[in-house]
Amino acid sequence: MKTIPINDADESAIAQRCLARVRLRVIPVVMLLYFVAYLDRNNVGFAAPELRHDVGLTAASFGFGAGIFFIGYFLFEVPSNAGMHRFGARRWMARILVSWGICAAALALVRSAWTFDLIRFLLGAAEAGFSPAILYFFTLWFPERERARALGFFVLTQPIANAIGAPVSGLLLSMDGILGLHGWQWLFILEGIPAVVLGLLAPFLLTDRPEAAAWLPDDERRWLAGRLRDEAGSRTAAADNGFMAGIKDRRFMVYAALNFGLICGVYGLSVWLPTIVRALSGMTALGTGFLVLVPYSVAAVATFVVSRRAARTGKIAQHASISIAVAAAALVGAGLTLPVSAVASMACLCVACAGIYASIAPLLAMPSGVLCGAGAAAGLAVTNSVGNLAGFLSPYAVGLLKGWTGGDRAGLFFLGACLVATSIGVFFYARHRPEGLLRTVPASPL
């Protein structure tokens, strides 16, 4: 059959319709899945005071147990992403969701420090591969220029999950005594169930690749598949894109180190923020839940604005570096104002949350543009798994510093120092690299 030529205006219209349809179909599902993941990963921070009291955990032992999640995550991340590449998004994400939902609910069985450590480790092993699988999934659906914006919506889920999860967790903690269970047990059980349900629905909600998308019209499906093929071809011409190539590529290790520094701030703050806010305000668990909503709401707005601006200008490394620097300064400010003014300290925590979460999407967009195919799946798993070791280090380190000093200032200074180093690293390494300065790739002919 003879192909009918299509002019630039028609092709641009097809591209706009296609990307709008893909955004509407793919992003809400991914946001919902990640919302549940982030809720189950971080709800331990809201349960901390009651859990520590009932089980007898010190600040250091709680920080260790909260962070050991990421050891399980690290050990199983690369094998899990290999499974994602082998079996496809629908089946593999279903497996991840069901297994982590069961482990999340099982935290209600904690009776001692070692059972807390064990179940948190198993939760990390079960969820391993989910975040890099999403990043890899986005490379299969979004052209490079569009990817930073799509990742912005993905990352936006994190502060939204914390903002919504804060009052919800506070309400669930108030169920203390119902059916003989503690409030923190209800929190883990009721927030673990949605992951299992979504796991059963995942095969019906996700499509592995554009070529299999019956919900896309033929012209849009051909355009998107061709555009992604062109971008993959431009990278394949310059590099081996096999699975082992992604593991060996040094660029992914550099981004893993930068991701490590950022995640120190993300999880060091998210795990301990409810405790810090509760100490500042003197409120109950429910009141603290509503108050913690404020910094995460500010972070959600900042994430949306910065990710869109980074995608529009293409200067994603610059946006990441500046956002991280702002967060670092705000964490130091929060530490300095803790003994002086609760209001000033809370304001600094709001700015810190905004800077941290606004930087995630631009930082994640860079390694996703290094390779394609199996190489991207492996490399993104390396970046995420090594980086997520900070999720073990930072809550534990903050817990140790809190135990040694009897306050929160030293922990905030530590997190600020981690972010300063990360901001400098992003600025000097990625600012002038191709993946740090987005380029426009010519559209594929239909």
Instruction: Give the least confident one: 57-61, 243-247, 328-332, 429-433.
Output: 243-247
**Distance of alpha carbon 202 from alpha carbon 126, whole angstroms:** 16
Residue 280 has pLDDT above 80, yes or no: no
**Cβ atoms of residues 331 and 265 within 8 Å:** yes
Maximum CA extent, the chain: 76
Q: What is the pLDDT of residue 441?
A: 40
**325 band by pLDDT with thresholds 50, 70 and 90:** very high
**Cβ atoms of residues 316 and 327 within 8 Å:** no
The answer to whether position 428 is within a domain reads: yes
User: Which pair of structure tokens corresponds to residue 200?
Assistant: 């059963």
The answer to whether position 158 is within a domain reads: yes
**Distance of alpha carbon 341 from alpha carbon 349, whole angstroms:** 12
pLDDT tens readout for residues 103-160: 999 998 888 888 989 999 998 888 887 877 787 788 888 887 777 778 777 777 777 7
Q: How far is CA 161 from CA 153, 287, 293, 302, in A?
A: 12, 17, 10, 15
Residue 1 has pLDDT above 60, yes or no: no
**Distance of alpha carbon 281 from alpha carbon 298, whole angstroms:** 19
Q: Containing domain of residue 152, as a range?
A: 14-211+223-436
The answer to whether position 387 is within a domain reads: yes
Domains in the chain: how many in total? 1
Q: Whole-prediction pTM value?
A: 0.68
Q: Is 208 exposed, middle or buried (0-12, 13-18, 19+ CB in 10 A)?
A: middle
Q: Give, in degrees to the nearest 5, the angle at Cα 281 between 400 and 329.
A: 60
The answer to whether position 240 is within a domain reads: yes
Nearest to 138 by CA among 114, 154, 126: 154
The answer to whether position 446 is within a domain reads: no
**Look-up of token digits 């798993």:** 381
The answer to whether position 340 is within a domain reads: yes
Q: What is the pLDDT of residue 446?
A: 34
Instruction: Give the least confident one: 166-175, 307-316, 365-374.
Output: 365-374
Phi-psi region of 242 (alpha: psi -120 to 50; beta: other; left: phi over 0): beta
Task: Return the CATH number at 432.
Answer: 1.20.1250.20
The answer to whether position 218 is within a domain reads: no
Considering the chain, what is the average pLDDT of its residues? 80
The answer to whether position 25 is within a domain reads: yes
Residue 445 has pLDDT above 60, yes or no: no
Q: What is the pLDDT of residue 4?
A: 44
pLDDT tens readout for residues 188-242: 999 889 989 998 898 888 888 888 888 888 888 888 888 888 776 655 544 455 6
